[in-house]
């Protein structure tokens, strides 16, 4: 399995000394600093996020309606002196699908075969010799002259290339569509069961009856069906394997490698096999999570809508009023067990129709919040509504379809062991052999410092780590103070290094001379106050995101835990470190007694920094979460754009 990320490791002290002793090419301090101490790359947002790839900037413009995101990183506005310079975050883009192109059949170079009786190719036989069908195909090419078939550019190219090299039918035998074609058409028609849109793959199948009176017309009909079905099959295979949209074109927060697809190879395989259904279905992700989501989608589509639907954005504090409150109370009353009913049944019955959040109801809300695993604060918000009232059928279906699309961006086999971080759930799990051996609460990036969606590979654990301060935090948060108080870093437990890796006093730097490009590296020394706590788990990537401990333990008691600069903080970092190192928590505790050190992870462990608002637990039960970054909405816009481009296609 191939994973993303620019790999960087913490160098041993001897190597550092050798570099400094013998010299090295001149580099900026931050670049050297990051190589030595694993601080990421200098153009990351709050140390976390990449700028949009340069090849995309000219094609996709940021969404003008997207909320402005500051105090993070990506695109820099550089400058010097005392100006208020910031490193900005990645953008969300208004997704624009590539237009379809008309397939240019005039370039279909086929060498004519031997002449044969015109109607010989129309004998209804499933065992028509290849030479006969090939000859019919060569003759049929003339019927494509004025045929307007539109397809994606790479599909149009693959069609012409394949049929030029393989001048024969795949989907036609004799004078009609063969069993292979019938199987393929059935699979395309079942696309909705995968959360896809069947209309994207519709092909009109020629009638089975054959009229030998107009062989030319029949031949034209068959060759056009051949090309249309091949084009839609290739679209289906692409969508099943990689998804309908390119996530990297949606936002700089998404970072996924392309999944190569040999389209000519797909057609070659289908031309040789009679197992078209098996082959096409195998192009979808082959993991249990994908199958669980499919089962959930089928169940939802067959179920009745809940008659009580509570506004998922309801926000209500004691004393406030909302017509949504009686609906929420009705949902709570419906699900009361004996214990809760005995304690709160009378209150719920008496105030069932109240639109005022009466103080008497606060203990009820707190109790059901705690039972749902939430902090019992008595405030009714989106997470409380989601936990107590559930999600409407329509919203659930939408979330499941989005999750199926997002799973297509990931490897088909997610790997074992693996680490899976689901941002909307605020959890991180270690999974091995189909068992969730560790699940811990997590803190993710604030909406203004969002955690990216990508996958990589765990490489090492740092004990009592240094924290290499990202340029974004240095510029956006520290620089204003340093201009007033240059010695601040010296007193606060930080070190400053210059371009050659030499430590210098913070007070010796003229911080007022710099803007978004500061030629110094800054790191925080290991301590109880260190932002990374007692350990961090590295999977070096261009977003400078990793898992780590934190001194801010109270954050884990909150239900909404989008509170960091973008990295993933763990409630049980020792447990996760023990899991990825294949050791015990006692071993981790012993390592922590001996100061700063690092240990490599000896196994291949993929880590998914994922974003799913619908996700199955290990029993296959799908759970639903609040869309904390509003990414589902943006993905739906991209899907709508794709569907709009495809809808007029013939």
Partners of 177 in beta bridges: 172
CA 565 to chain centre: 19
Count Cα neighbours of 216 within 13 Å in the Cβ-side half-sphere. 2
Closest CA to 315 of 626, 632, 629: 626
Catalytic, 548? Answer yes
| Cβ pair 404, 277 in contact under 8 A | no
Catalytic, out of 43, 284, 543, 567:
567
* Coil, helix or strand at residue 401: helix
Closest CA to 419 of 402, 439, 445: 439
CA distances from 396 to 389, 613, 640 (A): 13, 9, 18
> Across the strands, what pairs with 39?
none
**Of the residues 238, 548, 565, 626, which is catalytic?**
548
Task: List, in sequence order, the alpha helices (H) in 194-252.
Answer: 215-242
Q: In terms of Cα–Cα distance, which of 60, 473, 468 is closest to 252?
A: 60
Distance spanning both ends of the chain, measured CA to CA: 37
Which residues are 151's β-sheet partners? Answer: 101
Query: Using the 8-state DSSP alphabet, how is residue 497 labeled?
Result: E
What tokens were used for 168?
Answer: 């024969």
Q: Which tokens belong to 535?
A: 């350990």
CA distances from 123 to 78, 120, 194, 237, 641 (A): 74, 6, 38, 32, 44
Q: Using DSSP, state whether 643 is helix, strand or coil.
A: helix
Q: How many other β-carbons are positioned within 10 Å of the β-carbon of residue 105?
A: 22
567 is catalytic: yes
Question: Cβ(42)–Cβ(473) under 8 Å?
Answer: no
What are the residue numbers of the active site? 548, 567
């Amino acid at each position: 399995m191939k994973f993303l990320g620019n790999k960087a490791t913490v160098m041993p002290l001897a190597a550092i000394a050798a570099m400094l002793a013998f010299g090295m090419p001149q580099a900026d301090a931050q670049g050297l600093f990051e190589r030595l101490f694993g601080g990421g790359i200098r153009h990351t947002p709050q140390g976390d996020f990449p700028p949009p790839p340069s090849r995309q900037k000219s094609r996709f413009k940021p969404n003008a309606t997207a909320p402005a995101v500051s105090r993070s990183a990506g695109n820099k506005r550089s400058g010097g002196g005392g100006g208020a310079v910031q490193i900005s975050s990645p953008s969300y883009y208004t997704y624009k699908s590539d237009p379809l192109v008309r397939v240019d059949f005039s370039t279909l170079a086929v060498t004519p075969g031997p002449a044969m009786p015109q109607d010989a190719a129309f004998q209804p036989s499933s065992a028509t010799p290849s030479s006969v069908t090939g000859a019919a195909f060569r003759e049929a090419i003339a019927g494509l002259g004025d045929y307007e078939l539109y397809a994606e550019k790479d599909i149009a190219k693959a069609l012409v290339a394949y049929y030029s090299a393989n001048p024969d039918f795949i989907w036609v035998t004799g004078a009609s569509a063969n069993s292979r074609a019938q199987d393929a058409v059935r699979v395309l028609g079942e696309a909705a069961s995968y959360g896809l849109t069947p209309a994207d793959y519709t092909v009109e199948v020629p009638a089975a009856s054959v009229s030998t009176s107009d062989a030319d017309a029949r031949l034209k009909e068959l060759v056009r069906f051949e090309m249309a079905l091949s084009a839609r099959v290739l679209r289906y295979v692409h969508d099943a394997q990689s998804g309908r949209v390119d996530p990297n074109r949606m936002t700089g927060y998404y970072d996924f490698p392309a999944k190569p697809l040999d389209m000519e190879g797909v057609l070659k395989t289908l031309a040789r096999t009679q197992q078209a259904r098996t082959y096409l279905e195998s192009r979808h992700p082959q993991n249990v999570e994908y199958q669980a989501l499919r089962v959930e989608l089928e169940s939802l589509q067959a179920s009745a809508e809940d008659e009580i639907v509570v506004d998922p954005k309801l926000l209500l504090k004691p004393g406030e009023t909302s017509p949504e409150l009686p609906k929420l109370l009705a949902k709570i009353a419906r699900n009361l067990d004996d214990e809760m009913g005995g304690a709160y049944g009378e209150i719920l019955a008496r105030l069932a129709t109240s639109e005022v959040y009466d103080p008497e109801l606060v203990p009820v809300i707190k109790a059901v919040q705690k039972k749902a695993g939430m902090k019992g604060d008595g405030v009714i918000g989106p997470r409380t509504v989601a936990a107590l009232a559930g999600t409407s059928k329509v919203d659930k279906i939408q979330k499941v379809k989005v999750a199926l699309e997002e799973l297509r961006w990931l490897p088909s086999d997610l790997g074992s062991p693996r680490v899976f971080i689901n941002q909307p759930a605020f959890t991180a799990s270690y999974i091995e052999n189909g068992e969730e051996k560790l699940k811990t609460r997590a803190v993710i990036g604030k909406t203004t410092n969002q955690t990216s969606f990508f996958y990589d590979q765990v490489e090492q654990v740092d004990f009592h780590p240094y924290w290499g301060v990202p340029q974004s935090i240095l510029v956006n948060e520290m620089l204003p103070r340093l201009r007033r108080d240059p010695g601040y870093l010296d007193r606060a437990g930080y070190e400053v290094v210059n371009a050659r890796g030499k430590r210098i006093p913070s007070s010796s730097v003229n911080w007022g001379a710099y803007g978004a490009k500061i030629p110094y590296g800054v790191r925080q020394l290991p301590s109880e106050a260190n932002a990374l706590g007692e350990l961090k788990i590295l999977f070096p990537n261009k977003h400078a995101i990793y898992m780590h401990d934190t001194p801010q333990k109270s954050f884990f008691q909150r239900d909404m835990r989008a509170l960091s600069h973008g990295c993933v903080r763990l409630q049980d970092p020792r447990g996760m470190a023990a899991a990825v190192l294949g050791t015990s928590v006692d071993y981790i505790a012993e390592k922590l007694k001996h100061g700063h050190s690092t240990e490599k992870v000896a196994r291949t462990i993929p880590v998914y920094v994922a974003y799913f608002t619908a996700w199955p637990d290990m029993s296959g039960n799908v759970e639903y979460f609040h869309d904390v970054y509003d990414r589902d909405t943006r993905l739906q816009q991209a899907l709508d754009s794709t569907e709009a481009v495809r809808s007029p296609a013939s």
